[in-house]
Structures are given as C-alpha cells and as structure tokens.
Amino acid sequence: MAQGLFDLKGRRILITGSSRGIGFALARGLGQAGGSIILNGRDPKALGEAARTLAAEGIDVAEAGFDVTDPHALDAAVEELETRLGPIEVLVNNAGINRRFPATEVTPETFREVQAVNVEAVFFMAQACARRMLKRGHGKIVNIASVQSELGRATITPYAASKGAVRTMTRSLCAEWAKGGVQVNAIAPGYFATELTKVLVEDEAFTDWLCKRVPAGRWGKVEELVGAAVFLSSAASDFVNGHLLYVDGGMTAVV
C-alpha cells in the first residue's frame, strides 16, 4: 500500500532560487527521489555549476535562468518551460531575500524589494503554474515560508511581514484551487546556515542564543528539509492542503 507513495519519478519540478542554499538542497533531494528538476536563479554561472553538479549525480536537470520579480514575465517563462520540457507538476516557491535594518530605517524601496521576491513572485509564480495545472486537473505547489511566518524578530520586519503573507496566501490559494486538484502547502524552516543567514552564522552570540532557544539545540542542516519537500511533492500528501509544515527543531513549539 505504501509502496511508491513518495516516488517522484515522472514528476517535473520547478524550484525557484535553486542555484544554492536551501533551493539547491531541495533540488538534489527531489531529484534523488526521482523528480525531473528545473533549476532557477538569476546568475547564469551559478545556475550552470549547480546544473552540472546534479547532472553528474545522475539527476535529470534543466536550467531556467530568470528573475522572479517581473510578474508580467512569469507566465511567458512558464509557457516557454512547458513547451521546451513538458508539464510542470510541482512548483517549489523557494526564492527569497532578507534585508536587515532597524524598522525606523527601512526605506519604501527596501520594503518593496523584499515583498517583490518573497510575496509577489510567490503569488505570480503560483498563478502562472496553477493556470496550467488546473487545466490538467492536478498539480502541487510548495511555498517556502519561515518560522518568521509566526514569530517576530527585531530588524527583519519586512521579511517577517512577507513570510506571514506566504502563510495566509497558502491557505487562500488552497481554498480556491483544491477542488481543481491543485494543492498548495508550505514548509516553514527554522534556522539553516546559508548565504541568507551568513551574518548570523558568523555571530557566535547568535548561535549561543539559538542553541538555547531551539529544543533540538542546533542549527538545521539543509538536507533536513528534503523529507518535508518530498512528502508535499508526492502522492503521500494528496489530501494535505493549505498546511504549513514546520521544520525547525521544535522552535515554534516552545517559548
């Protein structure tokens, strides 16, 4: 009965922001589970290197180098990909940025820059893919949220606001698309060492604080997000919808 539930063979999976960090780890893990991977990012060199690494590991991989912040271009980008490669069965909305400033110093430009990647692009990528998924009657969308979808933290208000929006966007899209066979779920990572969190990794006092704050007592490893992504991309989660799955070592469970 359980055999094949997590098998991604034959599923084409587009992961935004997958040239490095969490997106790349998810690409590798979903590829190892049998998925055909489409990598995305803005830097062609980084994208090419990431694609070569996965191809050398035997993963079926293609590149899609575009900036997710031009909402008018996303529908055409998805159309081009589906024409070139075939239907996209799973979208992982992973690309995200953070800008750290005291709230009194955040400019309108900075605030909008964060929302453009973390909120607008998540919505318009989902829209572009779902238009096609709904016609086919099936598809899965996995949004990468954050513990900051739930918890506040000083100096990252634009980011926290954006991740809160991802959480409620996930639920609203579920309400609208569930009957059409499209599921929309989210993963909320805790703290993982990547380019995005480099300043925190380099701050010993932060790591001391984090290890006390997180029940697991440590930073997460990016590979530890793969299980949740495989689950939400596979038949194993066919009746799971509008859900936010924390992968945070217990951080949001305790005060």
- Selecting among 124, 159, 219, 231, the annotated active-site residue is 159
Q: Which of 31, 96, 139, 164 binds ligand NDP (CB under 6 A)?
A: 96
Residue 153 Cβ vs ligand NDP, minimum distance, rounded to whole Å = 11
Residues in the chain: 255
According to DSSP, the residues that pair with 39 across neighbouring strands are 15, 63
Write the binding mask 132 to 151 for ligand NDP: x where contact by CB under 6 A, - elsewhere.
------------x-x-----
Our CB check for ligand NDP shows the closer of 7 and 252 to be 252
Indicate whether 249 belongs to the interface with ligand NDP (CB under 6 A).
no
Q: Which of 197, 213, 236, 252 binds ligand NDP (CB under 6 A)?
A: 197
Indicate whether 207 belongs to the interface with ligand NDP (CB under 6 A).
no
Indicate whether 46 belongs to the interface with ligand NDP (CB under 6 A).
yes
**Residue 210 in 3-state DSSP?**
helix
Q: Which of 11, 12, 13, 19 binds ligand NDP (CB under 6 A)?
A: 19
Any catalytic annotation for residue 159? yes
Write the binding mask 154 to 193 for ligand NDP: x where contact by CB under 6 A, - elsewhere.
-----------------------------------x-xx-
Measure the CA–CA gap between 67 and 122, rounded to whole angstroms. 12
From the list 55-63, 67-75, 100-108, 125-133, the region that binds ligand NDP by CB under 6 A is 67-75
According to DSSP, the residues that pair with 92 across neighbouring strands are 15, 142
Going by the DSSP 8-state scheme, the letter that residue 53 receives in this structure is H
Residue 21 Cβ vs ligand NDP, minimum distance, rounded to whole Å = 2
Our CB check for ligand NDP shows the closer of 111 and 181 to be 111
At a CB cut-off of 8 Å and minimum separation 6, what does 139 contact? Answer: 88, 89, 90, 91, 129, 130, 132, 133, 181, 182, 183
* Strand locations in 95-254 (E): 139-144, 182-189, 244-247
Going by the DSSP 8-state scheme, the letter that residue 242 receives in this structure is S
Closest CA to 63 of 42, 83, 93: 42
Indicate whether 203 belongs to the interface with ligand NDP (CB under 6 A).
no
Measure the CA–CA gap between 216 and 245, rounded to whole angstroms. 17
- Contact between 13 and 38 (Cβ < 8 Å): yes
* CB-count burial class (<10 Å; 0-12, 13-18, 19+) for 56: exposed
Q: Which of 30, 54, 68, 214 binds ligand NDP (CB under 6 A)?
A: 68
Q: Active-site residue numbers?
A: 159
Which residues would be at the binding site for ligand NDP (CB under 6 A)?
Answer: 16-23, 40-43, 46, 67-69, 94-97, 117, 144, 146, 189, 191-192, 194-197
